[in-house]
Amino acid sequence: MSRVAGWAAGRRIRAYAGQVGLLAVLGLVAALLLTAAPRLANHHADQALRADLVRLPHQARDLSVTVDQRPERVGTAAAGLADLDPIAEALPSPLPDLIGQRWYGAWLAPETMTADGDVAPMNGGAAKQVGLRAQTGVEEAATLTSGRWPATRPGQPVELAVSQRTARTLSLAPGTRLRLTGSGGGARADATVVGVFTPRDAADPVWDDLASALDPIVPATDGDPYVTIAVTDWTGLDSVAVRTATQARYGWRYRVDETRLDASQLTQVSAAVAQARRTQWRPDAVVQTSLDFAVDRFGAQLRAVRALLAVVQAGLVASVVGLILLAAGLAVRRRGAELALLRARGASLPAIGVRTLAETVPVQPLAVLAGWLAGTAVPGRGGGGTWPLLGLVALTTAVVPVLAMVGQRRVGVVAGRTDLTRSRPSARRLTAEASVLALAVAGVVLLRRRGLAPVDGVDVYLTSVPVLVAVAAALVALRVLPWPLRLLDRAARRVRGAVLFLGVTRAGRGAPVTLGPLAVLIVAVSTGVFGGVVTTTVGAARDRASDLVVPGDAWLTGYAFPTDAGPDLARVPGVTAVARVRLESNRRVLAGTGAAARLVGQARVMVVDVPAFTQVARRSGVDVDVPAALRAAARGDGPVPAVVSPAVARSLAGGGAADVQGRVYAFTVAAVAATFPGLGTDSERFVVLPWQALPEHADTPIVANRYLVAGDVTDATRLLSTADEAQCRHQGAVLGVPVEQPELPAAVQTRRAYRAELDRTGANSVLTLAFTAGAAGGAALAVLAVGFAVVADAAGRGRVLSRLRTMGLSARQGRRLLVYELVPLVVVAAGAGAAVGVALPRLLGDTLGLSAFTPGAAVRDHLDPRVVAGVLALVVVGLVAGLAVENLVNRRMRLGEVLRVGEENS
């Protein structure tokens, strides 16, 4: 008997394959969304976290344990090597499993040691500060070009190895003898250079603490010393420290391997690093790292973006669930005659439920399983949980049986004509709609008070508030919609012809079969537009931040450029204009002038050639806001106008003075601004002075250390070489000897590259994923909702067209009738959804936490018309496609079948 029942269920599944298949596809899509979205978000979060760690300087990324002590005997440095692995294993969990590379080193800082002897007296006899370092991993990461590695023997001169650039700069070679003197004077230590090396890879982290060994610092002005580091062995370092009575430093450095870390470990890693900082690893030991602060900062961004992703996902899931309910309702409605016949023959409600359940059980769980399997193929860690999938299986399997039983609670023998009456909502339905409105309003109020990203996780109710707002707007729109359509109906009565009147009349009746798809359409469109608006809002804020950080096509930075560098840079191919700038941090700011001046703190002081600056910004397409007082400033005897930050303005009485390159320049406050182009978005204390108005002396001119550049700097090689040549020329003029390498090589930062970097740092990739998925998914679901709106009452419209065809209605007039009926409903619903999507960011305000994704720039609602136009265009495409399909179906109808239109055939 069960086999016969199974065959019967199989025949019914084949008979209703379209309806069963549609429900299965929707279940598959929902399962794919629930499974793939969290995995993809975790994948992007992990990649973003690892990229952030890679960009951190080693002082912030690595965990270092350092001890300062004065060695009493040779052998102290080598003794610490045995603690390298035990300290790593004793770190709080999960750090031991995350530690990759590790190093132990002992060193004497360059500022504590000077060298003389056989060193060539170059550059006017400038002092040579030579630090010493013994460290694991150096020999493996370098290649000897001459000599050998140090192997100091007790009682013999200390053996050193230097980099090839240090050897060339200080004229060192194997066999060169040096005398090392501690900063306190006194005894000296003899040393001999025994080897010269080059790094295999200068970017290897083993060289992080040996930067001045690979690239020695050369003097920039008179009195500055050479600064470098020489490599020695453990015995040699102890010997120098003991002989010169200099305190050495010993350190164990551990690097977290970013490939072993994922975003799920943020809390544990932060707590472990904090515990490691509190642990006393050695007497007087200090733990140095900022890894926990970087992890916490990323975690705050990730919590905010996950809450936003939950909002988008809730909108998409709600739209898919709505489509599932619509598909199930459509399937039950088209089988209404069959189910009514079963009830008339005595079938009970449970029997109908079992009959329809036998048709869904073999298909729907498999469809959800297929969606889950497809979702697990997406890269990333799982995180969606199994309960939503089990709920989806239950929904897709039971929704048709439940609706079938609910629809057959009352046995009817005569089908009513729904085209002549207007359905009046029941008290129960009105209560439910009022409850949804109340929940939406309460949710908005609560969301604005609590925020969207609580520390203890994502709140399901709060993340559902945007969906509730969209649903509430859908209910209101669908209640209000008949009124303007009635007015249009009255106007259509006066129009010649019956096609417009008939189409508007059917639309104005608002059949329940059409209202459901339109409600889903409003939710889907609002989700898509919401994602698009937030994406463009964040993008506009990042554009403003880019303009504040790089107010031209590029910043060219260096140490010191001569006064004639500007024309040379302007002649570089691709460069159209340059503007000289001097930017100094932590400069003195005085209130008042002369003897009455008093120090009121420090600030960033920016001296800018304002006319050239504005010209470069204009040619770069950047709209800079420079006060007119600065643009019109000219050289005179009195104080110059200045732009200051509010924090500086509060300490001044309308004027003051600022230290620029060791000289104090008086100024008056011409304007107070929170930001200024070129200073970025995080400068709280700054003073901007017009270069063209400052008095300069021929022997001490103001030296530019930056140039704002307009033009194509995609290939910056020629620009950088020209800048370094100018810096070497300036440095050589100061020292009186030729200089081959500037102290700080020039660097270029383009506005385009900075803008692209904002999209890659932190959890921004997850944010982009969230709202790209929201915009694309909302648009796709909106098209499906339009399709349901078209096919929901296709049979009814077909009967109307059949009747009208017998009265002489042409095929063209039939297409127009469909347009007049559906377009008002779909356009109003899509417009309502777009309005909700545009209003949601403004309604939710700061609770979205978008400021976490913009580097200090103000977040202002920004609506790109292309976003709304794109979503609405997809709706129109769906409407046109649906109408085309329905026209093809209706075109196959024969005129002789019109006589049977009274039958409720489906």
Query: Over 666-712, what HEC string results?
Result: EEEEEEECCCCCCCCCCCCCEEEEEHHHCCCCCCCCCCEEEEEEEEC
Q: Within 13 Å and on the Cβ side, how many CA atoms surround 438?
A: 6
Please state the rounded mean pLDDT for residues 874-900. 61
Ranked by mean pLDDT, which of 476-485, 685-694, 892-901 comes out on top? Answer: 685-694
pLDDT at res. 892: 54
Between these two residues, 74 and 262, which has the higher pLDDT value?
A: 262
| Model confidence at 440: pLDDT above 80 | yes
Residues 6+ apart with CB under 8 A from 469: 440, 443, 444, 526, 836, 840, 843
Mean predicted lDDT score pLDDT of the chain: 81
The distance of Cα 476 from the centroid of its chain, to the nearest Å, equals: 35
Identify the bridge partners of residue 192 per DSSP, sorted by sequence position: 159, 177
Give per-residue burial for 161-172: e unless 16+ CB within 10 Å, then b.
bbbbbbbebbeb
**Cis peptide bond upstream of 611, omega within 30:** no
pLDDT at res. 509: 62
pLDDT class of 864 with cuts at 50, 70, 90: confident
DSSP 8-state secondary structure symbol assigned to residue 173 = -
Identify the bridge partners of residue 580 per DSSP, sorted by sequence position: 707
Of the candidates 464, 350, 360, the one whose C-alpha atom is nearest the C-alpha of residue 406 is 350
Lowest mean pLDDT among 522-531, 653-662, 779-788: 779-788
Identify the bridge partners of residue 196 per DSSP, sorted by sequence position: 146, 162
| Model confidence at 377: pLDDT above 50 | yes
pLDDT class of 793 with cuts at 50, 70, 90: low
Of the candidates 581, 588, 585, 587, the one whose C-alpha atom is nearest the C-alpha of residue 558 is 581
pLDDT at res. 331: 82
**Whether the Cβ atoms of residue 178 and residue 117 lie closer than 8 Å to each other:** yes
| Model confidence at 692: pLDDT above 90 | no
Percent of the chain exceeding pLDDT 70 equals 85
| Model confidence at 99: pLDDT above 80 | yes
| Model confidence at 512: pLDDT above 70 | no
pLDDT class of 906 with cuts at 50, 70, 90: very low
Please state the rounded mean pLDDT for residues 537-550. 86
pLDDT class of 346 with cuts at 50, 70, 90: confident
3-state secondary structure of 464: coil
pLDDT in tens, 383-405: 767 888 888 889 888 888 888 88
Strands 177-182 and 142-147: unpaired
| Model confidence at 229: pLDDT above 60 | yes
pLDDT in tens, 718-772: 888 888 888 888 777 776 777 777 767 888 888 888 888 887 776 777 877 777 7
| Model confidence at 437: pLDDT above 50 | yes
Please state the rounded mean pLDDT for residues 287-294. 90
pLDDT at res. 16: 75
pLDDT at res. 703: 86
pLDDT at res. 98: 93
Strands 686-690 and 598-608: parallel
Q: How many C-beta neighbours within 10 Å does residue 831 have?
A: 16
Distance CA(29)–CA(370), nearest Å, equals: 9
pLDDT in tens, 442-471: 888 888 777 776 555 567 777 888 888 888
Lowest mean pLDDT among 15-29, 619-633, 862-876: 862-876
Tokens describing residue 209: 């603490």
Please state the rounded mean pLDDT for residues 585-601. 81
pLDDT at res. 848: 73
Question: Domain-by-domain residue ranges, the chain?
Answer: 1-56+320-412, 59-289, 549-754
| Model confidence at 123: pLDDT above 50 | no
pTM for the model: 0.78
pLDDT class of 664 with cuts at 50, 70, 90: confident
Query: DSSP strand E in 859-900: where?
Result: none
Tokens describing residue 285: 């030991």
**Whether the Cβ atoms of residue 74 and residue 232 lie closer than 8 Å to each other:** no
pLDDT at res. 64: 92
Of the candidates 824, 723, 247, 818, the one whose C-alpha atom is nearest the C-alpha of residue 491 is 824
Provide Rg for the chain, Cα atoms.
38
pLDDT at res. 508: 62
| Model confidence at 275: pLDDT above 90 | yes
Distance CA(539)–CA(863), nearest Å, equals: 11
Q: Within 13 Å and on the Cβ side, how many CA atoms surround 804?
A: 22
Of the candidates 45, 46, 36, the one whose C-alpha atom is nearest the C-alpha of residue 377 is 36
For helices 387-407 and 364-376, what crossing angle results, to 10°? 150
pLDDT class of 381 with cuts at 50, 70, 90: confident
Please state the rounded mean pLDDT for residues 485-509. 69
Ranked by mean pLDDT, which of 57-66, 409-418, 776-785, 876-885 comes out on top? Answer: 57-66
pLDDT at res. 446: 84
pLDDT in tens, 725-736: 888 887 777 767
| Model confidence at 901: pLDDT above 50 | no
